[in-house]
Structure 1
Amino acid sequence: MSQRPSGDRHAEIHRQLAAALAELVPDDPHIPPHPYLRRHLAQHAAQGRVLDDAHVPPALLPWESSSALGRLLAVGDSPSARQQWLQAWAKLEPYSHNLSPMSRLTSLHLAHHAATSRHKPRMHSHSKPTPFAGSPVSPLWSDCASPDNVWALNDAAVTSLTTVAPGRRSKSRTLLVTGDDHGVVRVLRHDGSTAVPPIAVHEGAVDHLLPLHEGLLATGSTDGTVTILDAPRGRTIGQIHQRPGTWVSSLTLYKPQNRAPVLLAAFSDGYIAAFNTAAFQEVDIPLPRLERAAALLRGTTLPDGSGLLLYAQHDTVSCFDGRAALTHSRHPATIRALVALPAPGHYAGGDTNGNLFLHDAASTRHPRMARADKAMNGPITALAMVTVDDRQALASAGADGTVCLWQTHPLEPIGESLQAHSAPINALTSLSGRSGARLITAGADRTVRNWPLTGNTFQHGRPAWNPITASALSSGPAHLLAISEGTRTLTWDIDTGEKRPVIDHETVTALAWVRVHQRMLVAAALSDNSIVILDPNAERHSSTEVRLKGHYSPALALEAVPGSGRSSLLASGSADGSVRLWDLHTHEPVAVFTDHKFSVRCLASTRTASGALLASGGSDGNLRIWDTTSLTQHGPTIRCDQNIVNDVAFEPSDDRTGRQLVTAGQVGTLKLWDLESVAKPVHEFNPRDGDLNAVTAFRIHGRRVVFAAAGSTSIHLWDASANRQLLQIVIGYPVNALRVAPHQHSSEPSTVLLATGEAGTMIFRVHHDRL
């Protein structure tokens, strides 16, 4: 029997295999590689310690099917310049399971550009050859952050997290369990893959997960029920309690005096139910009497080993020793998170004002307290004890999507805050594996993320993103980007890279480019309810600045209305429920439409033979069409049945007599409407990507209309005439605005698309002949 090769010899064999297999990958990424290469090439490269772009060519990545590239990179050496394509793909990998190879190729092309060409002008961003010359898109400009450390992608907001040990007789490793807003529980392995099929458990959100023993798990939901699961086997043991008209506010284990530990469930009406942990039958034990309000429960012990129950209601933490309840501490705001610390009697909490505090419940006469005022910018949403560099620490998460680490004696931050999610973080836990301890975070952005639990991760942190509140792209010939980030608005020339500030120290809620006297000007809606018209080439605060006033709340949408026989028109839709038309030559209002009941969130316009039509939609769920010539409503109000109408787009104008437009709704659907018959939509498209926040349209091959819609993670290109999806472009974060402009300097037909979201801005060409 031959001996197993030594470590170096074993790695050398895999190096040779990886090098030989890489030669077999087709240069054209449109050609599918052999299934063995798709499945195993990255693993050979990793075992040969040559996991880089040369041994795993970029042309393979759109077809790579091991779903383990991110894990292989995580356990290898630190990222290097030789892994740029691999690192870009690893960030997209969790989103790739249902993508076509063309969608993978497109997403990877844009992700690599975003990672390597931030803020570079177009003439320099293409200096390096790309293996994706035949991609349906060509990136032009980017200020977009790539998705970081996404471990798993969920169908709904993730509301709870925990870990379970499979049991003494199982050889499986610890598993991660998630609960979501749709009542589904998922059990995940260390690489983020699913260990068992998703378990539909509740009618409401699974807000609480509590590990018990031998892989069993208690779940609590907003439907008022508590259920027991066998997580490793993916089975529901049974519902043990239901309290109609309430929700489960907390679950914990608690050890009463002289009794075995029990499972406690608190409900929103202040009721507490106790169950033994063997048969899960309800037991009668002494418990504190609570107010008729939701409570947070945490079981802990005192220094003498006796059990202690901590409970928080409103701004107060109390403790119960089995005989009497005692109010222990009061705080500046409602307590949102409560956790027992390893030291007996110690606990930590966080409130809705962002304050973090530590207490010693064992010292009732002179309670010891440490507090970090305004530890986070916004409510503290979750707390967890973790181990960092072999030392215990407290992790706190907030509604602003950030995570902080704290040492507890004394209470001081470890490093800087980490921007972990683009939405509120709902849950935290930690997981130990071969690559070391990891911090697992889950949030309302539907992702579960995985961070190394080391001081280095938080040493420099990562600053919170400045929210992009508005953006607009000029129609050309030179494409100018106007963008508002935080309280600053500037313009970029994406061809030259030149930028120019136009507004400082003011929040802008909407932007649009308008043409007046053959000049391209910027219209900006300000937080003081006015709209300012600026020449981006003039000196700031010059006499050419014009302010339009009339709204009672900030305008949320601006739209340049195409020529209709009148002077240049600007439409504005406001949170005050009105739509206004402005004459940009006289700076006077032309019309005011007040028919919407709530905020007007979106506007779109189109040219017709008799003038221009303007569409408006908003929070009342209705779509209205306005004739800008007669200044009256055109046709009946369209009841969209999409909850909030987030955006609207007309099909591009042509000589057809019919007029169609599409609405993007909060319920996650696109609906195509024909203005000649608005009783029901012509087609409906649901990409299953959360809320659809934005939509725009362009025409390809003469008569085909493509609508681009933005969801929680991707941009979806939909061929309305064929009612089919053409392409899904993964961004990894919600996109809030989409705009198109024709591309006038190309031998082939294409459209320039602007996508602005929570992670930044991206501009790219869509090649019509490649769709």
Structure 2
Amino acid sequence: MTEPPERPDRGPQAPGQVEIQQKLAAALAGLVPDDPSIPPHPYLRRHLAQHAAQGHVLDDTHVPPALLPWETSAAVRRLLAAGESSPLRQQWLQAWAKLEPFTRNLSPLSRLASLQLAHHAATARHLPPEQRGTPPEPFAGSPVTPLWSDCASAENLWALTDPAVTSLTSLTPRGPRRTLVVAGDDHGAVRLLRPDGTAAAAPLPLHQGAVTQLLPLADGLVVTAGTDGRVTVLDAHRARPIRQIHHRERAWVSSLIRHEQSAYASTLLAAYDDGHIAAFDAATFQPVDIPLPVLESAPVLLQSTRLPGRAAPPAPGGGAPAQDGDAVVPGPRPRGTPVLLFAQHDTVGCFDGRTTTRCSRHPAAVRALLAPPDGSGRYVVALEDGSLALHDAAAPHPRLAPPTGTGPGTTQATALRVVEVENRQTLASASADGTVRLWELPALRPLHQALPGHSAPATALTSVTRDGHTRLYSAGLDCTIRAWPLSAAALHDPPRVWTPITVSALSPPPMRLLATAEETRTKVWNIETGAERLVHEGDSPTALAWVPLGTRLLLAAGMSDSSVALWDLTERGPVSTVRELTGHYSPALCLVPMVDDSTALLAGGGADGRVLVWDLSTGQTVHSFSQHVLSVRCLASVHSRYGFLLASGGSDGNVRIWDLRRHSRAADDGHRPDPITIRCEQHAVNDVAFFPLDNGGLRLATAGQDGSLKVWSVREEEQDGEEREQDPGPRPEERSRDRSYDGADLVREFNPGDGELTAVTRFTAGRGRTLFAVAGRTGIHLWDATVDRPLLQAVTGYPVNTLKMAPQRASESAAPVLLATGEAGTMILRLDDKRL
């Protein structure tokens, strides 16, 4: 048994062959060790899933969960997609398929933890609360145990890209050549992808800016254009550029189409952000001189269509666009007249090669323009205010044309495409909220539910039809491409659209309360019982923090009116507002309490660049720091041996450390000490965390926009020895109270290679090891700073923006608990450091 089985997509198999494959799959499944930490035989890792698929038994029994952390075929997603309507039990396989693109270079331990998290996220909400923290067999030995999951999983992931994709198209040739999806990214490269999402060739660097336009032609040719003003022709099947056909300096290409104008050969039109349009012969790519409309100096959107009957009347002045007050003179055009539609600002115009006519004017700027390929003369506009409208270029319109359909509320459509759904032309729209929506044409009524595509704005759409089945592909700024089968069965029950979680906070013991904010609702969950409590509705907080104040437990929330509300959640019943803290000019982005036996303070940092500290007993502002140039993104505090220290990190790339004891004393004598300033050189600083050492030293960790985690040693100030001998000064205990910190030195750096790092926290493991948890673009990374060694990567499939270790009781020796929140939801994990 050394040869791999035949791929299941190479035609039907005889019934006897299917039965043989079933027996093979069953026998091989029995050879998989029950313990997922034990590696199975290499043949099982590579080929068991394919045997099960060929035997039509691709399920969790024939491909046991213990095999998946070692599975190396990277084909589980493709095998599952080939049997989309399978009634087999595939919970573990489906969970693995959503993670498969992220796990190519992970260790088996990381794969094990990631699989467990994905399975828990998909099944936890269907389990009673008492079973949610119990790891299923065979995962009892995993170093990560999910205690709570209320989050979306990575749905319909087709390909993972880095950097983000900004344009998409597809090639479906006849003959032996295979279908390709072509993707342009924001670094100027073009990627060629096979139908299973794998790369058909290395990325082709064609531009010096984002690739914004892709236009497929015959014989596998693709015309590309971008923000560098260049227009280039690519032979996609041979994966090689042919030549650059145009370059307009200091301009970017806003639209690229193929257009047939009466009495002229088929041409390519490239429109620029300065209103210029360049024309080329579609066969020879040579510049051609054809009549074109005269446009304003503004970005242009182009579409080509035909007018089936009498067109809108021309405006006087030949090619000049119609202006307010111009007379409108009717005139016939022959049936099937090719016309050029163009949009600038809030207006769509029509040019037939001789005259320019205004077709429609809108209450907001036009962000996307699409003419369906049915030759009806209709066109769809997506407006900046989030609405969609369908218009007819052959019919006269008033100057302010009302929309004939409404779009996705206030969510702006970023891309439009016409696709086939059950043999009907349907409009697909990608949105700034990351979702994909389908609309019935021509009524523009929504079809089915929104598809929860991306955790960041969607950027492009394309579609592929093969063997009568259509798939829609969407790209997003989350660096993923997702594939959606457009069949009635697949669209009948689409994945849930999750409300993005903006912020969260986990309470200190003895209660285990999780506070989350989403859109206009703030809720508190008891993670041990599953009970849910609505705290506030009507305004979504921008920051949350729990404040234990004596016998009361308060929840602090930064509100949109720039105030900070304090809610008392000690008792059941109506939530009462204890007080409101004011002083910020913009909403607080981060909050951190500083409470001990003699101090009750709350610090807040905002987009106004200021850090404010309030006395919770009076509600008064006791400190106001404004040294940050831009937004304050993160705060952290620690109770050092000299009193409370407060660290703030911001968009200016600096961290500042404030000694609150010194500042309180300086308020009496009028001298205000300067903070310690650390220039982190990480672009923006997204998160910061203190941690004291057993020897009394102090460390600080910073998570940067450049993808690095840096650990700094905070220096204590030193007094000159000769000066100390001449003037011994106060007694030792007084000198201790006067001393503080005066700088920081870089001691460690960690680069997990997972994009921008958004959050960091730490805990002390056995044998005194300092472990960090840091959030990247696709998952959570655990790093041992003591020996500078990566330990684990838990894939989430979406960015995480909050990581916090749950406070433990002083007597607790249990494993640490980690809160992880991203836009797609919240997870609470228990970490077993003895297994790391």
TM-score (normalised: structure 1):
0.94
Matches within 5 A, 1:68-147: 68-76=75-83, 78=85, 82-118=89-125, 123-126=130-133, 129-147=136-154
Amino acid at match of 2:118: A
For the 8 Å contact 1:338–1:383, the answer to whether it is kept is yes
2:354 is the alignment partner of 1:323: yes
Q: CA deviation at 1:548?
A: 2.4
Between the aligned partners of 1:28 and 1:68, the Cα distance in structure 2 is 23
Deviation at residue 184 of structure 1 after TM alignment: 1.6
SS class of match (1:630): helix
Gaps of 5+ in 2: 1-10, 309-334, 664-671, 716-741
* Deviation sequence 1:309-354 (CA, Å, 0-9, x none): 1111111111222222222111121111111212222222211112
Q: Structure 1's 763 and 454: CA in aligned 2 closer, same or farther, altered over 3 A? A: same
5+ residue gaps, structure 1, are none
Partner residue of 2:749? 684
- The residue aligned with 1:603 is 635
Change (3 A) 1:679 1:628: closer
The whole-number CA distance in structure 2 between the counterparts of 1:497 and 1:735 is 23
Alignment map for 1:294-309 (pairs within 5 Å): 294-303=299-308, 304-309=335-340
- What is the match of residue 231 of structure 2? 226
Q: How does 1:36-435 map to 2 (within 5 A)?
A: 36-76=43-83, 78=85, 82-118=89-125, 123-126=130-133, 129-166=136-173, 171-303=176-308, 304-344=335-375, 345-364=377-396, 371-434=404-467
What is the DSSP-based 3-state SS (H/G/I as helix, E as strand, rest coil) of the residue aligned with 2:219?
coil
Whole-angstrom distance in 2 between the partners of 1:24 and 1:221: 53
- 1:679 Cα deviation (Å)? 7.5
TM-superposed deviation, 1:128: 6.9
Contact residue 246 and residue 269 of structure 1 kept, 8 A: yes
Q: Which moved more, 1:709-718 or 1:148-157?
A: 709-718
Match of 2:686 in 1: 646
| Pairing partner for 1:17 from 16, 20, 24 | 24
Q: Is the 8 A contact 1:300 1:308 kept in 2?
A: yes
Identify the residue that residue 724 of structure 2 maps to in structure 1.
none
Once residues 397 and 61 of structure 2 are traced to their aligned partners in structure 1, the CA distance between those partners, rounded to angstroms, is 67
User: Which residue number in structure 2 is paired with residue 671 of structure 1?
Assistant: 710
> Within 5 Å, which residues of 2 pair with 1:649-660?
649-650=689-690, 652-660=691-699
* Range with greater deviation from structure 2 (326-335 or 303-312): 303-312
- C-alpha change, 1:256 and 1:671, in structure 2 (3 Å) is same
Distance 1:33 1:506, change over 3 A: same
Return the offset for 1:525. 2.1
Q: Distance in 1 between matches of 2:185 and 2:618?
A: 54
C-alpha distance after superposition, 1:581-602 (max 9, x if no partner): 2233444333221222222111
Q: How far is the alpha carbon of 1:224 from its aligned partner?
A: 1.2
Separation in 1, partners of 2:527, 2:107? 30
- Is the contact between residue 515 and residue 525 of structure 2 (CA under 8 Å) also seen in structure 1? yes
**Residues in 2 aligned to 1:669 and 1:126: alpha-carbon distance in whole angstroms:** 32
Per-residue Cα deviation, 1:486-533 (whole angstroms, up to 9, x for no partner): 222232222222333332333212111222214433222222322233
Shift in CA distance, 434/656, structure 1 to aligned 2, threshold 3 Å: farther
Q: Give the whole-Å Cα distance in 2 for the aligned partners of 1:164 and 1:278.
A: 18
Of 698-707 and 209-218, more deviation after overlay is shown by: 698-707
CA distance in 2, matches of 1:464, 1:710: 23
What corresponds to 2:825 in structure 1?
760
Q: How far apart are residue 747 of structure 1 and its match?
A: 9.6
Q: Is the 8 A contact 2:469 2:487 kept in 1?
A: no
Contact kept in structure 1, 2:360 and 2:397, CA below 8 Å: no
1:394-417 Cα offsets, whole Å, 9 max, x none, are: 112221222222222333322233
Please identify, of 500-509 and 199-208, the stretch whose mean Cα deviation from structure 2 is larger: 500-509
Cα deviation code 1:398-457 (max 9, x no counterpart): 212222222223333222332322221111111123582111111111111111112444
What residue is the counterpart of 1:588 in the other structure? 620
Call closer, same or farther: CA 1:407–1:521 in 2, change over 3 Å: closer
| Larger Rg computed on CA atoms | 2
Question: d(CA) in 1 for partners of 2:620 and 2:443?
Answer: 62
> SS of 1:546's equivalent?
strand
Secondary structure of 1:675's match? strand
**Mean Cα deviation higher: 500-509 or 445-454:** 500-509
Partner of residue 710, structure 1? 775
Q: 1:132 deviation in Å?
A: 1.3
Deviations 1:44-96 (A, max 9, x none): 11111111111000011111112121121122153657211011101111211
Decide which moves more: 299-308 or 367-376.
367-376
Report deviation, 1:458: 4.1
% identity of equivalent residues? 55
Preserved contact between residue 379 and residue 392 of structure 2 (Cα < 8 Å): yes
Q: Give, in angstroms, the shift of residue 734 of structure 1.
A: 1.4
Could you tell me whether the CA contact under 8 Å between 1:480 and 1:493 is conserved in 2? yes
Amino acid in structure 1 at the alignment position of 2:180:
L
Bigger shift: residues 476-485 or 192-201? 476-485
Answer yes or no: is the 8 Å Cα contact 1:624–1:633 preserved in 2.
Answer: no
- C-alpha separation in 2, matches of 1:575 and 1:12: 65
Decide whether the 8 Å contact of 1:414 with 1:459 is kept in 2: no
The Cα of 1:152 is off from its aligned counterpart by 0.4
Residue identity matched to 1:511:
L
- 2:676 match: secondary structure: coil
Counterpart of 1:682 in 2: which secondary structure?
Answer: strand
Amino acid of the residue matched to residue 236 of structure 1?
Answer: P
- Residues 751 and 766 in structure 1, CA contact (< 8 A), matched pair in contact too: yes
* Aligned mates of 1:287, 1:459 — CA distance in 2: 46
Match of 1:725 in 2: 790
Structure 1 range deviating more: 330-339 or 108-117: 330-339
CA deviations over 1:364-399 (Å, ceiling 9, x no partner): 589999621344432121111100011211112221
Shift of 1:544: 7.2
- 1:499 counterpart residue number: 532
TM-superposition CA deviations, 1:273-298 (whole Å, max 9, x none) = 11223332222222212111110111
Which has the higher mean CA deviation after the structures are superposed, 343-352 or 717-726? 717-726
SS in 2 for 1:11: helix
How far apart are 1:204 and its partner, in Å?
0.9
Greater Cα shift, 62-71 or 279-288: 279-288
Structure 1 pair 301–572 and aligned structure 2 pair: CA distance change class (3 A): same
Q: Whole-Å Cα distance in 2 between the matches of residues 686 and 283 of structure 1?
A: 51
Decide whether aligned partners of structure 1 residues 607 and 474 sit closer, same or farther in structure 2, where only a CA change above 3 A counts. same
Q: Structure 1 pair 6/411, CA: closer, same or farther in 2 (3 Å)?
A: closer
Aligned partners of 2:92 and 2:674: how far apart in 1? 51
Deviation of residue 361 (structure 1)?
2.1
Q: CA RMSD in A?
A: 2.6
Compared with structure 1, are the counterparts of its residues 119 and 605 closer, same or farther at alpha carbon in structure 2 (3 Å cutoff)? Answer: farther
Cα gap change, 1:375 to 1:313, in 2 (>3 Å) = same
Aligned-partner residue type, residue 356 of structure 2: A
Q: Greater shift after overlay, 241-250 or 351-360?
A: 351-360
Question: What displacement does 1:540 show?
Answer: 5.2
Q: How far 1:463 sits from its partner (Å)?
A: 5.8
Quote the residue 2:610 is aligned against.
578
The CA distance in 2 between the partners of 1:509 and 1:294, in whole Å, is: 35
> Structure 1: how far apart are the matches of 2:53 and 2:643?
63
Change (3 A) 1:630 1:189: same
AA paired with 2:162? D
Q: 1:6 to 1:591 in 2, by over 3 A?
A: closer
Q: Distance in 1 between matches of 2:125 and 2:87?
A: 18
Per the alignment, residue 588 of structure 2 pairs with 555
